[in-house]
């Protein structure tokens, strides 16, 4: 499945939706906070996506679901490159704090997703 | 000039689809956490270059927000770090966490520097 054209199509469709949703969160956060870049939108997307991926990994019912929702949508909804760009734009020391807070909340969210999903197996 | 919202959405979406497919292709050739480290470093290098390049908002949305944003991933990285820590120990988790930022941050700065130099 994951090497088939259909598998790639599922990843592409999920990637389209994930990237669009991330951009919407970013535009929304920018509208709320207005002005200087804060990385808030990226942080929200990364933490929410990490929780959801943890949950999905313990609950995904098929390869198809995982390719579309996991590899496609959630992995594209979250981003590492924009996270690094935001940290650089914030400068020191704010950028270092941004990395630390993203890491701490992202790992906690992923662990929580895995724990919640694993607690009540289907 | 900024792109109209619907056009911007389409650019980000198409870039995101291509980024996700490219990441998936890397994932089929390179094993788990190493593939995440690889795409995060490569994508950060590319985003650094794109950020420094004198390109318009159309290319920035397609290549930067869409492609690089989706090619790299934080969720797979976070889940991979947590799993490394729970399966192999805290040191293994810390190594995954540290290696990604230690590779991606200099990669971003290098991409940005090289492009700024060539256009400066």
| ipTM confidence | 0.94
**Smallest CA–CA distance from B93 into chain A, residue:** A107
DSSP string, A1-40: -TTSHHHHHHHHHHHHHHHHHHHHHHHHHHHHH-SS--SH
> Which residues from chain A sit within 8 angstroms of residue B68, using beta carbons?
79, 81-82
pLDDT tens digits, residue range B47-62?
999 999 999 999 999 9
Domain extent listing, chain A? 5-117
- 8 Å CB contact between A44 and A105: no
Q: Could you say which residues of chain B have pLDDT below 50?
A: 1
Token pair 């700024």 is found at B116
Q: Supply A92's token pair.
A: 């020191």
**Percent of residues, chain B, with pLDDT higher than 70:** 97
pLDDT tens digits, residue range A16-42?
999 999 999 999 988 777 666 689 999
Q: How many alpha carbons lie under 13 Å from residue B43 in its C-beta half-sphere?
A: 36
B7 at interface of A, judged by CB pairs closer than 8 A = no
Residues in A 18-37 with any Cβ partner in B closer than 8 A? 18-20, 22-23, 26
Residues in B 93-112 with any Cβ partner in A closer than 8 A? 97, 100-101, 104-105, 108-109, 112
Annotated binding site of B for Na(+): 69, 72
What pLDDT does A121 receive?
Answer: 54
- 8 Å CB contact between B11 and B66: yes
A49 at interface of B, judged by CB pairs closer than 8 A = yes
Angle at B113 between CA B99 and CA A26, to 5 degrees: 70
Per-residue pLDDT of chain A (122 residues; tens, 9 = 90+): 889 999 999 999 999 999 999 999 999 988 777 666 689 999 999 999 999 999 999 988 899 999 999 999 999 999 999 999 999 999 999 999 999 999 999 999 999 999 999 876 55
- 8 Å CB contact between B82 and A106: no
**Percent of residues, chain B, with pLDDT higher than 90:** 91
- Cβ-defined contact of A53 to B82 (cutoff 8 Å): no
């Amino acid at each position: 499945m994951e090497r088939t054209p259909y598998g790639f199509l599922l990843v592409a469709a999920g990637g389209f939706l994930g990237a669009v949703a991330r951009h919407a969160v970013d535009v929304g956060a920018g509208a709320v906070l207005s002005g200087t870049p804060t990385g808030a939108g990226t942080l929200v997307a990364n933490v929410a996506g990490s929780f959801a991926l943890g949950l999905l990994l313990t609950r995904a019912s098929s390869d198809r679901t995982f390719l579309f929702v996991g590899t496609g949508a959630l992995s594209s909804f979250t981003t590492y490159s924009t996270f690094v760009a935001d940290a650089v734009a914030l400068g020191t020391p704010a950028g270092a704090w941004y990395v630390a807070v993203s890491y701490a909340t992202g790992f906690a969210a992923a662990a929580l997703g895995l724990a919640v999903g694993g607690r009540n197996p289907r | 000039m900024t792109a109209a919202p619907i056009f911007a959405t389409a650019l980000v979406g198409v870039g995101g689809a291509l980024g996700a497919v490219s990441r998936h292709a890397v994932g089929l050739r390179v094993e788990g956490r190493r593939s995440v480290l690889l795409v995060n470093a490569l994508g950060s290098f590319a985003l650094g270059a794109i950020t420094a390049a004198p390109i318009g908002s159309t290319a920035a949305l397609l290549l930067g927000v869409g492609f690089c944003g989706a090619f790299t991933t934080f969720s797979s990285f976070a889940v991979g770090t947590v799993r490394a820590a729970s399966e192999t120990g805290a040191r293994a988790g810390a190594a995954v966490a540290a290696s990604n930022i230690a590779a991606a941050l200099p990669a971003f700065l290098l991409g940005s520097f090289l492009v700024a130099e060539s256009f400066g």
